[in-house]
Amino acid sequence: MIVGTPLPHESAALHVTGAALFTDDLVGRTRDVLHAHPVQAPHAHARIVRLDPAPAYDVPGVVRVLTGDDVPGVNDAGVRHDEPLFPTEVMFHGHAVCWVLAESLEAARLGAAAVEVDYEPLPSIVDLRDAIAAESYQGNRLLLESGDVEAGLDAAVHVFEGETEMAGQEHFYLETQASLAHVDESGQIFVQCSTQHPTETQEIVAHVLGLHSHDVTVQCLRMGGGFGGKEMQPHGYAAIAALGATLTGRPVRVRLTRAQDVTMTGKRHGFHATWRVGFDADGRLVALDTALTSDGGWSLDLSEPVLSRALCHVDNAYWIPNVRAVGRVARTNKTSQTAFRGFGGPQGMLVVEDVLGRCAPLLGIAADELRRRNFYADGQATPYGQPVRHPERIERAWQQVTESGELARRTAEVAAFNEASPHRKRGLAITPVKFGISFNFTSFNQAGALVLVYKDGSVLINHGGTEMGQGLHTKMLQVAASTLGVPLAKVRLAPTRTDKVPNTSATAASSGTDLNGAAVKDACEQILERLAGVPGDTWEARVHRAYLDRIQLFAAGYYKTDGLHWDPGAMRGNPFKYFAYGVAASEVEVDGFTGSYVVRRVDVVQDVGDSLSPLVDLGQVEGGFVQGVGWLTLEDLRWDGRDGRLATQSASTYKLPSLSEMPEVFNVALLEDATETGAVYGSKAVGEPPLMLAFSVREALRQAAAAFGPPGTSVELASPATPEAVFWAVERARERSLSWTG
């Protein structure tokens, strides 16, 4: 079997040699390309009083200025009809009001600078707390309820309440948003785009141009990272390129600079939460009453589904019999916040992990013990009514991390170290992850594939998923070769295109392999069925014989996930095919003078079912974990309160995790004996769940900070827990220490 073999990423050699082609690399291979540059507004909120493109035409090289008057179809870049492609009202600092096309990017930039725009500034809201105070909301209020939360809180022995706030996160994919469009002699539009959702890009381009879907083809070669940031954000840029190509008859390229990308595109949602929680005498959770408000930015795009997933993950791996979780999306004058690895799940889970981390010292129970005591057990269901299958895997992964990570010995070592060290303290924390796999929106859980076998026995596969570095194509090659029973070298994969596989879902929700893998397998099985009984010593001989016998050698595969249902109004159902589980233990050391810290060691056990591609999965676990550490400890988005300008616009001010932030010791194991029946070759999704294992680092930092105070110190830790935030947490713990001893 080729599935299950540790293989390098299918494009690894191309990536490291620079030979891999990304969308914008095609510009150099295309003639007469025009370059696009936006005119970005310098206000958080303003009415456009006058827009005069004429001066731009005096700039040598400028060919065309695109404005709202040029749109033949619908002036909207989204699916919620709240995202004008060319706005008349500026909704955030950096909002593009029009675009200039020119012979060179430099000419386009100068042209954009020459466009004259008069603005009438309007009142703006940039801060999430201000939005809550002003009741500035958008979209539906969501309510998830189970049991009787008031009765649960009344019956609880211990009740605590608090607030939890967490910041968003910039995707910082290496490849910024990019599209290259051209129009052929019959008016057919072809857009090459760095998009996780080619079908939706196609639909938006069509509606902006007033065309049908069959007039537009979108192709995605590969992405230099998406992380959710290319699920919905690429559509408008693709539409600008397509509109420009239509009006000028020349290929048009849109490729954002880093500063444009960071100031114009949506990010992970920051959240604010209030909570009341009740425990029984043994520290078992009896009730959680929580209100989550996400910072949606100026328009909805994916904010409602992100919020929905957040509410569906406030339980994480813990059984809470009585839950009330209310969710709202705030409207602020910021970029439109969007999908980001975990899709709200991390924000929901952070709430309960923060609750447990803060309450453990108040209950007098060690945090690891408190967490474990509350794990789901067989027969229990989530607050939205889905039975939790295989909860014993949480316990199994926990055990494995405890043993392989030698937690008993190291916990004693940490205590001894802290005893002897007044100015540096260590923390060691272990946290679980339970993450639902499938799109909450049931219809998205379908996929297609097209498998072609040529007369010589070589195989070409197409599927609806996109490659963003996660190794989906590698897995699809393995699935096709395994199913057909041919060597990997016989199978090739063609770029993702909407004219090969139509009506695809976004490659998202970590479900790319589950969905497309099953569709590829289905197509291969259809072909095998037709080949059954065809004589021949080899695959090639049988295929050739089959051709002569006039047997169809290609097939369209299809898959839809069975057994899913979801009532979005009631927030109840069975939205997930299964849960992906994982456990991580992290040890940190904090310097009491500065709050700076290092991650000394991390041990992870992740449940990926029967891994299709162990090396790829290992990379996903490591990458996801480190990206989570970035979100929770380093990456600090700052908006200027005066004019709503994003102050952290580049890698010099926005700190990303790099090699130097990698844990000094990083052990990753995949859970064994973990076949997932009903999923492709027994495998499980891996793309997003490991990100949330990074909670172990945050909780270790909390415990290290607590060690600067007296026993029982409950530490409130800001998120991100930057060295500065950790420093203040240490100071607060120390103050408690002073009053306690004094």
Cα–Cα distances (Å) from 240 to 193, 290, 734, in that order, read 12, 42, 56
User: Which residue reads 């600067």 in tokens?
Assistant: 708
228 near ligand MOS, rule: CB under 6 A = yes
Q: Total binding residues for ligand MTE by CB under 6 A?
A: 21
Pick 339 or 479: Cβ nearer ligand MOS? 339
Q: Among 196, 322, 696, 703, indicate the residue that binds ligand MOS (CB under 6 A).
A: 196
Give the integer Cα–Cα distance in Å for 230 and 152.
42
> What is the residue type of 634?
L
Give the pairing of strands 491-493 and 459-463: parallel
469 near ligand MTE, rule: CB under 6 A = yes
Of 441, 448, 610, 576, the residue nearest 516 (C-alpha): 448
Pick 222 or 358: Cβ nearer ligand MOS? 222
Pick 383 or 436: Cβ nearer ligand MOS? 436
User: Which residue reads 């009142």 in tokens?
Assistant: 123
509 near ligand MOS, rule: CB under 6 A = yes
Q: Among 222, 309, 341, 434, indicate the residue that binds ligand MOS (CB under 6 A).
A: 341
688 is catalytic: yes
- Residue 111 binding partner per list ligand MOS, ligand MTE, none, with a CB distance cut-off of 5 to 8 Å that depends on partner kind: none
- Residue 620 binding partner per list ligand MOS, ligand MTE, none, with a CB distance cut-off of 5 to 8 Å that depends on partner kind: ligand MTE
Q: Among 271, 318, 340, 695, indicate the residue that binds ligand MOS (CB under 6 A).
A: 340
Counting beta carbons within 10 angstroms of the beta carbon of residue 596, is it exposed (0 to 12), middle (13 to 18) or buried (19 or more)? middle
User: Which residue reads 């309450």 in tokens?
Assistant: 359
Q: Among 94, 512, 628, 690, indicate the residue that binds ligand MTE (CB under 6 A).
A: 512
Q: Among 211, 472, 584, 729, indicate the residue that binds ligand MTE (CB under 6 A).
A: 472
Pick 107 or 306: Cβ nearer ligand MOS? 306
Give the binding range for ligand MTE (CB under 6 A) out of 84-92, 197-205, 501-509, 542-550: 501-509
Handedness of CA 654, 660, 663, 668 (dihedral sign): positive
Q: Among 10, 83, 175, 231, indicate the residue that binds ligand MOS (CB under 6 A).
A: 231
Give the integer Cα–Cα distance in Å for 519 and 314.
32
Residue 371 gets which letter from DSSP? Answer: H
508 near ligand MOS, rule: CB under 6 A = yes
The one catalytic residue among 163, 688, 724, 735: 688
Give the pairing of strands 96-102 and 446-453: unpaired
Alpha carbons within 13 angstroms on the beta-carbon side of residue 328 total 18
Spatial CB neighbours of 517, under 8 Å, sequence gap ≥ 6: 475, 476, 479, 612, 680, 681, 683
59 near ligand MOS, rule: CB under 6 A = no
- Tell me the closest approach of the beta carbon of residue 516 to ligand MTE, in angstroms: 8
- Tell me the closest approach of the beta carbon of residue 261 to ligand MOS, in angstroms: 16
H or E stretch at 188: none
467 near ligand MOS, rule: CB under 6 A = no
Give the integer Cα–Cα distance in Å for 224 and 261.
14
H or E stretch at 416: helix 407-420
Of 52, 45, 51, 138, the residue nearest 95 (C-alpha): 45
Give the integer Cα–Cα distance in Å for 238 and 194.
9
Give the binding range for ligand MTE (CB under 6 A) out of 361-369, 478-486, 502-510, 539-547: 502-510
Give the binding range for ligand MOS (CB under 6 A) out of 255-263, 309-317, 334-342, 413-421: 334-342
197 near ligand MOS, rule: CB under 6 A = no
Residues that bind ligand MTE (CB under 6 A): 225-228, 341, 468-470, 472, 507-513, 620, 623, 685, 687-688
Residues with catalytic roles? 688
Q: Which residues bind ligand MOS (CB under 6 A)?
A: 196, 228, 231, 339-341, 343, 508-509, 688
